Structure 1
Amino acid sequence: MTAETIVAVDTRINARWVIPIEPAGVVLDHHAVLLQGDRIAAVVPQSEADQHYRARQTLDLSNHVVMPGLINLHGHAAMSLFRGLADDLPLMTWLNDHIWPAEGKFVNSEFIADGTRLAIAEMLRTGTTTYSDMYFFPEVAADIAYDTGIRAQICFPLLDFPTMWGSGPDEYLAKGTDLINHWQGDSRIMPAIGPHAPYTVSDEPLRRAIQLASDTGVSVQLHLHETAFEITDALDKTGQRPIERLDKLGLLTSTTQCVHMTQVDDSDIQRLQSSGAHVIHCPESNLKLASGFCPTHTLAQAGINVAIGTDGAASNNDLDLFGELNTAAMIAKAVASDASALSAHQALAMATIQGARALGREHELGSLEAGKLADVIAVDLSDPFLQPVYDPVSHLVYSNHGRQVSHSWISGVPQVQEGRLTRIDVPDLMLRVSAWANRIQPGKSG
C-alpha cells in the first residue's frame, strides 16, 4: 500500500491489545481492527491505520482486548428455563427422574422460543458469537437465532422413542431433512444432525442419519463416552465400546463432533485420529454431573481437534464460555499432572479457531484475519480487580469474567455496545422468563 492510498472502511476499533489467534501465541499492542461490510478489512498498527484508512465510525478501546468472538460448540439453549431445577444429581438420575419429565410437561414451541432467546442473550453478553444447539423444535430455535443475528449450528434431535417433537426416528429424520433443506447455505444458520447418544439411538436410524449427512454434507453432533456407565453398559450389551460401534457403522468422519469423551483409551484415540472427528469438551457440566474428565492434553498431543462447549444451563449452570475456559485449563493441568498443559493461548484457541475447525469454517471464522467474517468481541480489562495486566491472555483465561465483554459484532453488525444488548428486548424477555418460572415451580421464582 503506497503512502497516498486511502481505504474507506465502516468501523475502526482501536484496541490496547489485539489477540488475532492466528498466528498462534501472538498479542498485538496498540493495533486497529478495521471492519468493512461483513468482513475484516485489516488488522494493522494504529499508526498505519492513521495513514491509510478512513472510517465512518471509530471506537477507542484503550483498556480492552479485541479478539475473535467465542464459539460455544455444544449446548441445549432453551434449557436455560430449567436452570437450577435439578442440581447435585448423577447424570441418569438427573435425566430420567427430573429433566425428561419436565421436558414432557413444559417443552413446546413457545418454551423453545423464550428459552433460546434467554440463552442467546447470556451468550452474546459474555462473548459468544457462534453456538451449537441440540434440542427439540429446532426450526423454532433456528428462527430465533436468525432474528437475533447470532451465528448458530442447529442440530435436530434423533432418538428411538417419541418426544414432544415427534413420534420416532421416521418423523425426526423427515423434519430434520426439511430443516436442512430450508437453511443449508445460509451464512449464519448451519443445520446439522443430532443423534442424542449411542444408548438412545439404534443402528438403523443411525445408518439413515449417516446417509443424510453424506447426501447433504452437514455435520453430525452426538453425546459420546460421557460416563463410565455408558461404556460398561455398551460392553455388556454389545461387546463393543460405543465409539467402535459408531466407527463400524460409518458415523465417524471429519464432520463428526463427539461431545464429552470423558472415557478415552488408546483405541478411542486411534479411531478419532483416523477419522478426523472432533471432540467437544464440556468441563463444567462434566464436573457437576460427576461424569469424568476429558483428557484434552492427550487428545491435543495426538493431533485431535478439541473445541469447547458449555452444555445446557440445566447442568452447568451458566453459558459464560470464558468461565468454561478457566475450568478447562485447570482440569487439563490436573489430569495431565503438568502445569504447562493447555496454556492460556491454547485455551483461547479451543474457543475460537478450533471451534471454527469443528464446524468446517476455519477459513471464515475463529481468528482476526483480513477477509474473514467480522465476528469480533472487545473485553474491558480496566476493572481494578484485574490489575495489573502483565499478560492479557492470562487474564482472559484465569482472571476474567465474561461480563467484562463490552462490545460484540457478528458479520460486522453490533450485538453488544458498552455492555448493552442491541437486538434483544431484555425487560420483555424477563417478563416471559418469570412467567415460565411460575409455571414450572409455582411460587418459587424471583
Structure 2
Amino acid sequence: MDSAIEDGLADKLPVSLVSSRVTMEDITALGERLEIQTARLKEYLFSGTAKKAPEFNATKLAELCGRSRDQMLRLLDRGLEPGLSDGIKGKADGGSERNRRFTLSEARAWVKATRKPGRPPGLPGATITVANFKGGVSKTVTAMSTAQALSLKGYDVLCIDYDPQGSMSALFGLTPGFIPESETVLPLMMHATSEIARDTLQESIQATYWDGIDLVPASHAIAQGEFYLPLRQLEANNRGEEFKFWDVLNKALDAGIREQYDYIIIDTPPALSYMNMTTIWAADALLLPLPPEGIDFVSSAQFWTMLSELSTGLALGQKDFAWVAAVPSKVNHQRMYTKEILKWMQGSYGDMLTQTEIPDTAAVGMEGAKYSTVYDVERYAGSAKTLSRARDAYDKLVDEIDFMTRRKVWQIPATEQE
C-alpha cells in the first residue's frame, strides 16, 4: 500500500486500533459493555416492563376454536363449561358484550374445551429439534413461532434453548448473560464432580410470559458443554464405564418431562457438534429451515452428509425419526433464482419439503428487531396484510407439523384428525 495512503488511514483511525494489540481482557470488557447495552435495549423496547402476551377479541377466539363468530358468541352467552371466561370485563374497564377481550390463558382454555384433544392419553409428547448448521436461516424465529402456534392449538409446550447465543431466551424477554448456568442444559454435560452436575432437567424449567410455554433458557456458559461431553466420554471409555454422550438429553427428557408436555421444541446453535448430536438423538422429528439461496441449499446438503458420517464414525448406533422436514424460509419471489432454487429443493427433498413457505416479510424483520414474533403483535405499525401473510404462513406450517406428528408420532389415523 502507498505510504501516503497508510499515513492518511493512520490519521483517521483511532489511536488504540493502530497502536495497541487486543487482549482477552479487552474482549471481556467489550462483552460486558454489550451485555449492559443489551439489557438497556430490552428495557427501551419493552418500556421498562416485562414482556406481555397478546389479548384476543371474540373474532380471533372464534378462529382459534375453529368456529364462526356467531357460533362463538352463542357459546360465550351460553357458557360451555364452568370457569370459561365470557370475555366481558368490568364496566370500569369499558367492558361490554360488543367489546369482549380474552387473555392468552382464557383463550387457550376455550381452545382446549372446544377442539379435539391432540395427544392421546398415556403417550409421551413429541420432541422436535430445529436444526441447521448455517446461521441466518430463521431457525430461532421458526422454533419460537412454532411453539407459540402450537400453544394456540391448546398444546402445552416446552422450549429448550441449546444455543449459547441465547437468541430464543432473548425472544422470551431474558438476557442470556444474566442466566445462571445451573438453570440451563449445562448441568447435563458436566462431570459428576461439579457442584451443579445432574442428569435431570426439571430444575432448569421456568414459566414464561406466554401461557402454555415453559422454557429451559440458555447462557453463554453452555458452550462449555462442547468440552465436557468428549472429555466425559473419553474418561468413561478408559475406565470401561457405560456412558453415551449423545444420550444425555434423551435420558433427561425420559425422566417425566415427555409426559408433562405435548411438544418439546429445541432450538440449536448453527453447528453440527457434540451438543447438537444430543438434541438430534433426543428428537422424534427434525425441522430444517432452508432459505432458497444457493449457499444455503449447498450447506443443507453438507448438513445431512455430515450428520450421517458423524453418526457412523462415532458409532452412535441406529437412529430413526418419525418425520424429517425442510421448510422454505425467508422466501422472496422477487429475488433472482428463487423460483429455480425452490425447484431444486423440491427435486431433492421431495415429500420432505413442506408445502408451506415462510415469506421474507417486513413484519417478521421488524418484530425480530424488537425481540418479538408475529404472534406477539396486537397492533402492527405496517400493513395489516403483511402481518397476516406472515402469521398465516406459520399457522399453515404448524398445521403440517401437527398433522405429521399426530399421524407418525402418536399414530392417530387421518380419519380421526380434525
**Which band: TM-score by shorter chain?**
0.3 to 0.5
TM-score normalised by L of structure 2: 0.39
TM-score normalised by L of structure 1: 0.37
Q: Which has the higher helix share?
A: 2
Higher Rg:
2
Q: Which has the higher strand share?
A: 1
